[in-house]
Structure 1
Amino acid sequence: MVVGAATEGTGAGGGSRPRPGARPTGTVTRGTTHRNRLRRMDRWIVAEHGAALRRSPRPPLAVDLGYGAAPWTAVELAGRLRVVRPDVRLLGLEIDPARVAAATPFAGEGLSFGRGGFEVPLGGFGAPGGRPLLIRAANVLRQYPEEEVPTAWRLMCGRLAPDGLLVEGTCDEIGRRHAWVALGPEGPRTLTLAARLADLDTPGDLAERLPKALIHRNVPGEPVHAWLRDLDRAWAAAAPFGALGARQRWLRTVRSVAADWPVRGGHARHRQGEVTVDWSAVAPR
């Protein structure tokens, strides 16, 4: 990836603007995709960002960046966002022209596809003007070198609306285990782990799904390693609650770590097999 090759402007919130005719910023990823793979991430987005979508004075724009070889996840995101905002417009972006061509037959009212990368071009795809209220980039940066993550974040955050949200992370092939970072125009805010609890042996198993910014930081001395260690310890201590089911054990685990870590979200989110912590508590040193 030639960082910044397709943009003008600098900084998160700085209004990076793609030059006309410039090639997309990024490289083609493997493109693996399955139906419902991102349902846990989408469920969190709807719950946490639904209020911002509802209060938008104009039809909000959402971007699915790097939807892959098939458009299923973009189509599903559009449907899930419409539960809270029926007039939402969703733009699916891919670098590979062949993927854009394959997705185009699925376009329709409020759903369009185009070619683009981290610079997030917005014109000419049947999408409204203005900045996106949401950008989702799932299983994209995991395939890049770690040192390229800050620039990619900066480019995408620089395209967000003032109250917009970037959700960037990874999951396994069928969506049982997720980890994602939520970022505003100013930069990263939180890290969320989410899992199908019935398949979870320990919270530490989610380490293999950490976003690229953290995947190589799960070593002693790094905050994210301490976070996963404390989750595992609390999970072990909550073993007696396993007799009541994996969910009760998870709820006890989250309640325990919340005494020492800045855990976000309420009981309803934790019941879904999620735990969210402030980015400042797990950011790389």
Structure 2
Amino acid sequence: MTFPHAAPDPAVHTPGRTAREGGPQVRPIGTITRGTTGHNRLRRADRWVAAVYGRLLRAHDAPLVVDLGYGASPVTTLELFDRLRAACPAVEVVGVEIDPERVAAALPYRREGLSFVRGGFELPVGRPPVLVRAFNVLRQYGEAEAWAAWDTLRARLAPDGVLVEGTCSEIGHRAVWVALGPEGPRTVTFAARFTGFDRPSDLAERLPKTLIHRNVPGERVHAFLRDFDRAWAACAPYRSFGTRHRWIETAALLARDWPIPTTPPLGGRARWRLGELTVAWEAVAP
């Protein structure tokens, strides 16, 4: 399934040198989201991106990062910019929103290296991005549309680029995201505040659209979450040392049977202690 390009739209906003220059402009591909956002909502994902893909960003002279569908407020784009600038001072960030009113509201926050444009899955930016973050964007789409959006976005990445697509709760205490390269999905990461769940499978409600309807018996992701809960239960004696320690021991136990990275940058105690756990995509793929 592909998204057909529509007729040119003279209202498409492409300011500065970050927008595609030359050629006809097209209507943004996609539909307007609810726009729900908030301060620090995506902190867990930002922290992970900086740690896991900071080296990738630093390998480029002026890496371009796109924040797709930032919502009614540009606050999470501003936070992404600040966090990635700390890891890679040369990074440039473009916030892309399909709602022209949201773009207009964000324009006063522009600064050197940070801009905002109107657009959708077509990514109206001047060069292939090294990284695209798309959070809580595909939640409203059907599963087939979500797969198609993945294909559309992956095709626009730099040759070594990555797409980080996921969903989080309203205040960011639960989140799940997938990292994809041009070749396809690579990993799935589960992240939570230690006071934000009773058992790991509570994160199932934040599975990306390509997986959320697959959490049923017979599917890999269901088996993974079942074993995650079992490992969590088996590590209950560690709760006397705190939930963080219990999570670390759960991750180590689960890694015996599932392809969970146990060394940096994707895994190991340094990541697990933050309430993260990453598993290879192939292990949970439909």
TM-score (norm 2): 0.91
Q: Distance in 2 between matches of 1:2 and 1:191?
A: 24
**What is the percent sequence identity of the aligned residues?**
62
Alpha-carbon displacement from aligned partner over 1:40-87 (angstroms, at most 9, x marks no partner) = 00000000000011121x211000000001000000000000011112
SS of corresponding position for 2:195: helix
**SS at structure 1 position matched to 2:87:** coil
Name the counterpart of 1:51.
55
Partner of 2:3: 3
Q: CA deviation at 1:198?
A: 2.4
Q: 1:115 maps to which residue?
A: 118
1:86 paired to 2:89: yes
In the other structure, the counterpart of 1:73 is 76
CA distance in structure 2 between the aligned counterparts of 1:25 and 1:3, rounded to whole angstroms: 7
TM superposition outliers: structure 1 runs of 4+ over 3 Å = none
2:230 paired with 1:230: no
Aligned to 1:131: 128
SS in 2 for 1:199: coil
Q: Note the 1:89-100 alignment, pairs <5 A.
A: 89-100=92-103
Deviations 1:158-207 (A, max 9, x none): 11111111000000001100000000011100000000012321001000
Secondary structure at 1:194 match in 2 = strand
CA contact (8 A) 1:66 1:92 kept: yes
Instruction: Find out whether 1:181 has 2:178 as its counterpart.
Output: yes
Matching residue of 1:13: none
Which letter maps to 2:59? Answer: R
**1:2, CA displacement in angstroms?**
8.2
Shift of 1:6: 5.0
Query: Take 2:23 and 2:192, find their aligned partners in 1: how far apart are those partners?
Result: 40
SS at match of 1:198: coil
Q: Tell me by how many angstroms 1:147 deviates.
A: 1.0
Separation in structure 1 between the aligned mates of residue 27 and residue 4 of structure 2, nearest angstrom: 10
The size of the alignment, in residue pairs, is 268
For 1:163 and 1:267, locate their aligned partners in 2 and report how far apart those are by CA, in whole Å.
Answer: 27
Partner of 2:10: none
How far is the alpha carbon of 1:4 from its aligned partner? 2.8
SS at 1:197's partner residue? coil
State TM-score, norm by structure 1. Answer: 0.91
Q: Verify the 8 A CA contact 1:2 1:25 in the aligned structure 2.
A: no
Contact 1:53 1:85 in 2 (8 A): yes
| Cα displacement (A) at 1:143 | 1.2
Give the aligned partner of residue 14 of structure 2: none
What is the CA–CA distance in structure 2 between the aligned matches of 1:156 and 1:225, rounded to whole Å? 27
Kindly indicate whether residue 271 of structure 2 is the aligned counterpart of residue 274 of structure 1: no
Contact 1:33 1:73 in 2 (8 A): yes
CA distance in 2, matches of 1:228, 1:47: 25
Q: Counterpart of 1:278 in structure 2: which amino acid?
A: A
Look up the match of 1:64. Answer: 67
- Kindly indicate whether the alpha-carbon contact (under 8 Å) linking 1:2 and 1:26 is maintained by their aligned counterparts in 2: no
AA matched with 1:169: G
Q: Does the aligned pair in 1 maintain the 2:2–2:152 contact within 8 Å?
A: no
Alpha-carbon distance in 2 for matches of 1:161, 1:31:
27
Distance 2:208 2:124 in 1: 24
Map 1:182-261 onto structure 2 (within 5 A).
182-261=179-258
CA RMSD of the aligned region, Å? 1.7
Tell me the SS of whatever aligns to 1:83: helix
For the pair 1:23 / 2:27, whether they are aligned, the reply is yes
Question: Any stretches of 5+ residues in structure 2 without a counterpart?
Answer: 8-21, 262-266
Q: CA deviation at 1:213?
A: 0.5
Partner of 2:36: 32
Amino acid at match of 2:69: G
State whether structure 2 residue 39 is matched by structure 1 residue 42.
Answer: no
Distance 1:247 1:150 in 2: 34
